[in-house]
Copies of this chain bind each other. A is one copy, B any other.
Amino acid sequence: MKIVIDVFLKSGILDPQGKATEHALAVLGFEGVEEVRIGKQIVLNLATKDAQEAISQADAMAKKLLVNEVIEDYTIEPIQ
């Protein structure tokens, strides 16, 4: 069972990587870019075939290791 965890900086937290990308796009001549935010997408391939169990395992992993909840938000979604 595949699980996707999207991890993003909370809104209000400065995203230096996004800001740098915004600047680089402007330098390259791309216009109309209002904001860029860059997050992580973590794809876990779990042994379990049960979607609910996979989600709860992924949530435990997110809380314990993958996400810094002080500055980051996350969403968990099963695929296939």
Binding site for B on A (CB under 8 A): 6, 8, 21, 24-25, 28, 30-48, 57, 60-61, 64-66
Contacts and interface: CB of A to CB of B under 8 A. Distances in A.
Contacts of A8: 41, 43
Contact of A36 (B21, B28, B33, B45): B45
29 contacts: A6-B41, A8-B41, A8-B43, A21-B42, A21-B65, A21-B66, A30-B61, A31-B47, A32-B46, A32-B48, A33-B44, A33-B45, A33-B46, A34-B45, A34-B46, A34-B47, A35-B44, A35-B45, A36-B43, A36-B44, A36-B45, A37-B43, A38-B42, A38-B43, A39-B40, A39-B41, A39-B42, A40-B40, A41-B41
